[in-house]
Amino acid sequence: MDTRTINNAILFDEIKDLLAKGKTVTITTKGESMAPFLINNCDKVVLEPLPSGKFKKGMIVIARLPNQTYVMHRIIHLSKTITLMGDNNNSQEIITPDDIVGYISSKISPNGEVVNYSSLTWNWFAFWALVTKRNRTTCTKMYTSIKCFFKRIKKRIHL
pLDDT tens digits for the chain (159 residues)?
Answer: 566 777 888 889 999 999 999 999 999 999 999 988 898 999 999 999 987 778 888 899 999 999 989 999 999 999 999 999 998 888 899 999 999 999 999 999 999 999 998 888 888 878 877 777 666 566 667 767 777 777 777 777 765
Residue at 16: amino acid letter = K
Return d(Cα 100, Cα 55) in angstroms, integer. 10
Looking at residue 97, its pLDDT comes to 92
Q: Whole-angstrom Cα distance, residue 82 to residue 80?
A: 7
State residue 126's pLDDT score: 81
Asked if residue 27 lies in contact with residue 47, where contact means CB atoms within 8 angstroms, the answer is yes
Domains in the chain, please, with CATH? 8-158 (2.10.109.10)
Measured from the Cβ of residue 151, the count of other Cβ atoms closer than 10 Å reads: 10
3-class SS of residue 126: helix
* Listed residue (122, 20, 91) closest to 62, CA to CA: 20
> What pLDDT is recorded for position 62?
94
| Cβ neighbours around 27 below 10 Å, total | 17
pLDDT at 5: 75
